[in-house]
Amino acid sequence: MASVELERRVVELVTDAAKGKEESVVIWAMELGQCVEAAPSIELGEVVVTQLCFRHNKPCLWKFLDFCLSSGLLSPLHVLSLLSARVIPQRRSQPEAYRLFLELLRRYAFSFGPIARDGHKEKIAESVDLALQLSETYKVHVVEFGHALVLFFFSTFISLIDSTLDDWGLKMTSRKRPRLAFGGSTDHDGGEDSIGNENFRSNEHQERIRTMNSFLAIEVLGKLTESRKALVLLRLVHLNMPEKFNGLLQRLRFLEARQFAFSDLNSAVQLLARLSVQLQRVLGFEYQLNKRQFIGVLLDIGSQKPTFHCNSGFGPSTCWVPLDIYMENAMDGKQLSIKSAINILAEGIMTLQVINQASWQETFLALWLSALRLVQRERDPLEGPVPHLESRLCVLLSIVPLAIANILEDEANLNSSSLKDTASRNVENGDGHEMNSKANTSRKHGLISSLKVLGNFSGLLCPPSSVSDSANSAATKAARFIHNSNNERDASGGGSCGDTCIKAGGDMRHLIVEACIARNLIDTSAYFWPGYVSASMISPLNTSPVQKSPWSTFMEGAPLRDSLINSLIMTPASSLEEIEKLYHIALNGSQEEKSAAAKILCGASLRSGWNIQEHVVHFVVKLLCPPVPPNYTGPSHLIDHMSMLSAILFEASTVDTVHILSLHGMVPEVAVSLIPLCEDLGSLKPTSNNKSSMGDESSVYMVFSLAFLFLLRLWKFYRPPLEQYIAERGGAVVGELTLEYLLILHNNHVASARNETNSSAHQYESASEKPMYIDSYPKLQAWYSQNKSCVASTLSGLSSGNPVHEVANKILSMIYWKMTRSRAPSSNSPAPSSSSVSGSPADVGEDVNQRLMLPAWDVLEAIPFVLEAILTACSHGRLSSRDLTTGLRDLVEFLPASLATIISYFSAEVTRGIWKPVPMNGTDWPSPAAILKSVESEIKEILEAVGVSVPSCFTDISTVMLPLPLAALVSLTITFKLEKSVEYIHAVAGLALENCASGCPWPSMPIVGCLWAQKVRRWHHFIVVSCSRSVFTQNKDAVAQLLRSCFSSFFGFRHTSTSLLSSQSSVSGLLGYTVTGCSAHPSVAPGFLYLRSCRTIPVVQYVNNVIVELVAEYAFKLASKWASTDSPHLNSTQASLSLAISKAKEAATLGACLLCVAGGVRLVQELYRETIPTWLLSPKEEKLGEASSVSHVMEGYAMAYLVILAGSIEWGFGDKLPACALSRRASIVGIHMDFLAGVLEGNISLGCDPATWKSYVSCLVGLMVNFAPTWIKDVKVETLRKLAGGLRGWHECELALSLLERGGASAIGSAAELVNVLN
C-alpha cells in the first residue's frame, strides 16, 4: 500500500479514537498489518512517527507504536532513529513525548532481531542514515544494517548527554563538544523550542516533567549500559573511532566536574557515578570464552600471566628465552647486525612484555638476567677470532641500558600526548590541579624494582676477572657518595681509589647501576638501597687521597706523551667532553697527535667505556670521514690524515671492536664513511717504492687496504648476490647482504633523520648528511661490478695491448722476480714465463718492483687475470705449489687489498668445480695427517654430546685431497703470522676460508681445520668446534638431530624416563653455562652449536618442518601425560593443566626462536604460507596408541602459539614498521587467514584430527585478538566474516565477535549484527 494510503488510514484510526470510537491497538495492528508488504514496514514506521511528531501526539498512537515494536510490525532501530531526530530537539516543548521516547528507548534499544531480507536491511540502514545524518556527521558511508545500529546507538547516547547538559544549564565549548546532527545546543534547538511561549512556561506540570526527564535520560543511559550489548556497541566506536568516543568521555567528565556546582543536581550524583563506571567497562571490556569446552579453558589458562619462579639464582621463567637466544645469536662473529641491537632489543622487550603479560619489573629483571648469563658464558671461552668478553659486556652495560632508555622514552612520549589532553580538560573543567606526575613512572618504577631484586641473583653477579677492578671502583664510588653524604660534604672525583678498591667487593650490579645512572635512567638514590653498599665499606673507608685520573691530566692541557698516551689507552674516558676534545685533536693536531688520539679513542674508551660507549662509537665513525678543509686544492685532503686514518683503521679492525660497532647499528654508517675513503685513496699513486706495503702503516697502499678490507667485511663480498630476504626487525639475513643494500639503509636513515629534526636522539650528523649512491664512486663501482662478474662466471680473455693486460703482465713479472730471488740458485723449478697473460715471456731483467707505482684500483682490476694465469700454470705443472703460495703471499704484501680479489676468485672457482683436487701429502701441499684422526675423533665427541651421530669421514689419510683453489687459499692464509698487526687480514680470510671449505664435500673442512690447528695450537678447540659445525651444511639428518637435542636440553631431560611435566626447563641447559667446558676436550651446548650453524644450512625450509613436528610432538606428549590415568595425582587438576599449558607454550616459544634465527622473515613467511597449511592438511600417524582429544587440542594450541610468536618476533604487535614491512605482514597474515576461511567453508579437506583443527583456529584467533589486534585490521572483511561464521558454528560466539570487533571500520557492521548472540 502506498504511504499516502497508509497515512490516511492511520489518521482515520487516530481521529476515530479521539471521537470515542477507540479500538484495541491489536486490531489496529492487524488491520494495518494487512496493508503493508512485509514486516517490519519502513513505510508504516515513517507514517506513525510523522503523525506522532507532533500532529497527532496522542496516547493511543503511542500505545499502538509500542505494540507494533513488540510484535515486529515495525523495526525498533528504524522507529527509534526517527523519534530521536524529531523528539530530542523538541524535548522542552514536548516533554511528554520525550518521556515516552525514553521509555521506548529503554525497552527496545536492543530489540533488533534477525531480518530475513538483505534488501530490507539496506533500506532500514539507509533510512536511519538519512534521519540522523550519520554519513555526514561521522564522515563514513553507512550502508550496512549493523553499521547503522552502532552509529544510531552512539549518536543517541551523545544526544541524550548533550540534552542533559543543556537542560541543566551547563555549556561546553564547541571545541570540546563537536556538533552532532541533533540534540543538545545545536541548530535544531531553534526558536520554537528554546523560546517557546508563556503558556508553555507557566505549565507547572510540564515543567515538572521536563525536570524529571533530564534525570530520566541519565537513568536510561545507565540502565542501557548495564547490558553487555551496549558495551559491545560502544566498544566498536572506541576501537574504530577513538576521537568520537573520547568526545563522549569528555562530556561525562564535564558533567562529573559540575555535578556539585548546583545543589539541585545532587540527586544525579549516583546516576552519573553508575554511568561513569559502566563507560569505564567499555575500555576494559573482555569477552567470555566458552569454558564448557576444553579449548575455552585452554585459552583462558594460556592467556593468564605466567608464573615467574627462579631456580639456583640463575633466572626466572623460561618464557623469556627469546632474549637469551637473541643475545647469544648476536655474538656470532660471522654475522654483523645491519640494525642497531638497541632498537631490536627494545622492540623485542615490548613484544615479550605483552605476550607474557608481565609487569615491567619482571620484564626488566628477565632482561638483566639474560644479559648477565650472556657474560657468564664467556668465563671459559674458546680462544679464537670471535667476539669475546668485550662484546658481551657491551650488550650488558651499553646496549641493554640504551634499549631501556628507548622504552622509557616511548612511554614518556605516549604519556605527554595524553597528559596534554588531560591538562586542557582540567583547565576547561576548572580543576586547576597539577597533572599527576605518576603517569610517567610505571616503567621507571619497574626498572628500579628490577635492579633492587637483581641483588638476589648472586650466582650471576660475580664479575669476570678482567672487570673486577671496574666493579670494585663502582662499589667504592657508591660508598664514598654515602660517606660524603653522611658527613655533608661534596662527593670527591672519580678514578681508582687505592687499597679501598680491593676491599670494596663490587659485583656486576654495581656496574649495571652506574650504566643506568650515566644515562639518567635512575639517580644516585640507588646508592642508598638496602644491601647495595655494605656498612663495612662505609665506616672504615680509606681516607687516602684518590689517585688522579689520566683523563683529568689530559683535560688540564697536558701534551700527549708516551706515558700519558698509554694511560689514556688503558683507561676509559668518563665524559663526553673528554671524547670531544680527543676527536678535535685527531682532526687538527700534529701527525703524532692525530695518530695517538685515534689510538686512544679506539682503546679502553671504545671497548670498555660502557657509560659513554654510544658517543665514542659515533666519533670513531666520524673520524673515518674527515671533513675537507675550506679552499683545499691538493690531490686529496686525506693525505694530511694518513697517520690518523691508519691508526684508527688498525685499531677498529679488531674482532671485538667491529662487533661493538655492529651492535650499535653503525654498519651502514661505517660503509658510507669508508666508500669515499676507498675511492680517493685507491686513485692515488703510492709515494713509496717499498717492496712491502705491510711494513709501512701510513702508506697509500696500506691505508687503502685497511679501509677496503674493512668495507668488504661488512658484507659477504665473495658470495653470489642472491635474492634478498632482510628481516625488518634486525633478525637473521637469509641470502647475502650487498653494498647496495647497506647504502639503502643509510639513505633511509638520512630520510628519517630529516623527518625527525626536532628529535634529541639525533645528536650527531652521520658520516654523510646526504643520500649516497654507488654511481657517485666510479672506481669502486667498477671493481664492484667486476667482482660480481668474477663470482658469477669465468673470466673473459683480454686482447694483447689492453691496459689491464699490461698491468697484469707487470704484476706477473714482479711475482716471478720475487720467486727467483727467494729460490736457491740450484733450484730446477721451471720458469713460469708462459704464465703471463699474453703467453709471451715476461721481462725479468730488472727489479720491476721499482716500476709498479700504480693506483690501487688499477692493480685490483688486473689481479683476477693474474690469478687465472698462475693457477692455470700450477695445474699444468709449470708452477710449483710452493712458488704459487709464495707469489700469492708477495702479492698480498705488495697490496694487502688484493686479498679480497684472491678470496673472491678462488671461492668462485671452487664452486665451479673445474679444478682437479690436489693431494695434501706434505710434499706438494701441506699435510693435515699428523692430527687428522684426533680432530675427527674430537668432532665426533662434540656431535655425540649434543645427540648427533655422523659416519666416519676418512678411510685412508694418505689420500686426503682438496680442490686446487682451496688448497692454494688455505696455504696462503697459514703463511701469515698470528699477531695483531695482521688481524685485519685474518678477519677477512678466516670467514671466507671457512665458507669455502664448508661448501666443499664434507672432509674438506676438517682438512682445512687441521692445517690451521697445526699452525695455531691455542686455537685448537675453536677450530674443532668450527669443523663440527660444517656437518650441518651437508647432512639434513644431523640438523634434525641437533634440533631435537635443543628441545630435550631445554626441557631438562635427555632420557625418556624423565617426566616432561616434572622436568625443569632451563636456558642454561640449552645454551650452556659456559661456551665450552673446562675439560681437555671442547664441548658446547646444543643450542649454542645450533646458533653458530643454522645460517649455513643449505635448505633452510627444512628447519621449519622439523621445528613444527617437534613442537607438535612435545605438546601432544604433555597433554597425554596430563590426561593419563596412571597419574591420578596429576589428572584433571587445574594446577597440572596450567603446568602442561605452560610447557606447551615453552615448546612453541623455543621453536619460534630457533626458526627465526635460522631464516628470519623468510622462514616466518614460509611458516604462514606453506608449513602450517601443509601440516594441517597432511594425515597424521596415530601417536601413543589411543590419543585423547585433549592431546589433539593441546597440539593445536601449541601450533597457534608458535605461529603468533614467530610473527611477533619478526613484525612485532604494533604498527611502527616501515611501509614495506607492514605491507608484507598484511599480505602474509591475510594469506594464512584466507586459507583458514577456505577450510571452514568446506573448500579444502583436512588431514589432521578435527580437534586439532578446531583448537588451532580458535586459539590462533584468540591469541591474535589478545596480543595482535593490529594484524586483524589488515585481513579482508569477507575473510573475517567467514572465520566468525566458523567460530559461531563451534559455539564460540563471543570469540567471533571479538575478531570482528578488531577488524577495523569496515567490519563494524558485521560485528554489530552478532550482538544478539550475547547474553
Name the 3-class secondary structure at 210.
Answer: helix
What is the C-alpha R_g of the chain? 39
Residue 1294's pLDDT band, with cuts at 50, 70 and 90, is confident
Mean pLDDT of all residues in 514-538: 89
Three cell numbers at 1307?
567490519
Q: What is the pLDDT of residue 314?
A: 42
Q: How confident is the model at residue 974 (pLDDT cuts 50, 70, 90)?
A: very high
Long-range contacts of 1175-1180 (CB under 8 A, 24+ apart): 1175/1108, 1175/1109, 1175/1112, 1175/1199, 1175/1248, 1176/1239, 1176/1246, 1176/1247, 1176/1248, 1176/1252, 1176/1253, 1176/1256, 1177/1244, 1177/1245, 1177/1246, 1177/1247, 1177/1248, 1178/1247, 1178/1248, 1179/1247, 1179/1248, 1180/1247, 1180/1248, 1180/1249
The predicted structure's pLDDT at residue 1064? 59
Burial environment of residue 1226 by CB neighbours within 10 A (0 to 12, 13 to 18, 19 or more): middle
pLDDT given at position 306: 53
The C-alpha atoms of residue 50 and residue 485 are separated, in whole angstroms, by: 82
What is the pLDDT at residue 271? 81
Do 883 and 812 meet the contact criterion of CB atoms below 8 Å apart? Answer: no
Residue 823 has pLDDT above 90, yes or no: no
Tell me the C-alpha distance between 990 and 899, whole Å.
Answer: 12
What per-residue string of b and e applies to 697-708 under the rule 16 or more CB within 10 Å gives b? bbbbbbbbbbbb
986: helix, coil or strand? helix
**Measuring CA to CA, which residue among 1095, 1070, 1180, 1188 is closest to residue 337?**
1095
Predicted pLDDT of residue 300: 67
User: Stretch 310-328: mean pLDDT, rounded?
Assistant: 73
DSSP 8-state symbol, 751 = H
**3-state secondary structure (DSSP) of residue 352:** helix
Which region among 293-302, 431-440, 590-599, 684-693 has the lowest average model confidence (pLDDT)? 431-440
Q: Look at residue 1275 in the predicted model and tell me its pLDDT.
A: 94
pLDDT reported for residue 1076: 65
d(CA 934, CA 1020): 11
What confidence tens digit (pLDDT) does each residue in 1273-1283 have? 999 999 999 99
Amino acid at 377: R
User: In this predicted model, what pLDDT tens digit does every residue of 1251-1264 receive, in sequence order?
Assistant: 899 999 999 999 99
Do 777 and 671 contact (CB within 8 A), yes or no? no
* 3-class secondary-structure state, position 917: strand
Q: What is the pLDDT of residues 206-246, one digit of tens each?
A: 888 988 998 899 999 999 998 888 988 999 999 888 889 88
User: Which residues pair with residue 961 across a beta bridge?
Assistant: 919
Task: Give dist(CA 282, CA 224) in Å, integer.
Answer: 13
In this model, does residue 1195 exceed pLDDT 70?
yes
918 phi and psi angles, rounded to 5 deg? -120, 150
User: What is the C-alpha to C-alpha distance for residues 922 and 481, in angstroms, rounded to an integer?
Assistant: 66
* Terminal-to-terminal C-alpha distance of the chain: 38
Q: How far is CA 10 from CA 49, 71, 358, 1221, in A?
A: 11, 18, 64, 62
- Name the 3-class secondary structure at 78: helix
On the question of pLDDT at 437 being above 60, the answer is no
CA distance 156 to 183: 8
Contact in structure between 1155 and 1107 (CB atoms under 8 Å): yes
What is the rounded average pLDDT of the residues 125-136? 91
In 1094-1167, which residue ranges form alpha helices assigned H by DSSP?
1101-1123, 1134-1166
DSSP state of 168: T
Say whether pLDDT at 966 is over 90: yes
Q: Which of 304-308, 566-570, 1024-1028, 1301-1305 comes out lowest in average pLDDT?
A: 304-308
Question: What is the per-residue pLDDT for 1287?
Answer: 92
Asked whether the predicted pLDDT for residue 21 surpasses 60, the reply is: no
For residues 1286-1295, give the mean pLDDT: 89
Inter-residue contact 1114 to 1198 (CB < 8 Å): yes
- pLDDT score at 424: 44
> Residue 1114: pLDDT above 70?
yes
Helices within 1016-1057 (DSSP H only):
1020-1029, 1036-1050
- The answer to whether residues 1023 and 997 touch, using CB atoms and an 8 Å cutoff, is no
C-alpha cell at 849: 718492483
Reported pTM:
0.87
Mind listing the pLDDT tens digit for each residue in 1072-1091?
887 764 556 777 899 999 99
What is the model's pLDDT at position 998? 83
Judge whether residue 1238 has pLDDT over 50.
yes
For 926, the grid coordinates are: 701441506
Q: How many CB atoms lie within 10 A of CB 587?
A: 17
Cell numbers for 1212? 612485532
Q: In this predicted structure, what is the pLDDT of residue 887?
A: 92
Ranking 162-171, 355-364, 421-430, 540-549 by mean pLDDT, the lowest is: 421-430
Name the least confident of 120-134, 223-237, 673-687, 1113-1127: 1113-1127
Q: Model confidence at 862, in pLDDT bands (50, 70, 90)? A: very high
Residue 740 in this model has a pLDDT that exceeds 70: yes
pLDDT at 881 over 80: yes
- Checking if the pLDDT of 745 tops 80, the result is yes
Mean pLDDT of 744-765: 65
- Predicted confidence (pLDDT) at residue 925 exceeds the cutoff of 80: yes
pLDDT at 739: 85
CA distances from 53 to 79, 205, 484, 815 (A): 12, 20, 83, 106
Please state, rounded to an integer, the average pLDDT across all residues of the chain: 82
Query: Between 360-376 and 508-518, two packed helices, what is the crossing angle to 10 degrees?
Result: 120
> Mean pLDDT, to the nearest integer, of 576-602?
94
Nearest-angstrom CA–CA distance, 1112 and 1147 = 9
- 75-79, 488-492, 920-924, 1077-1081: lowest mean pLDDT where? 488-492
State pLDDT tens for residues 829-861. 444 443 444 443 344 444 444 557 899 999 999
Q: Decide which of 59 and 610 is more confident.
A: 610
pLDDT at residue 417 greater than cutoff 70 = no
pLDDT digits (tens, 9 = 90+) for 770-807: 888 899 999 999 999 988 888 877 776 666 668 888 89
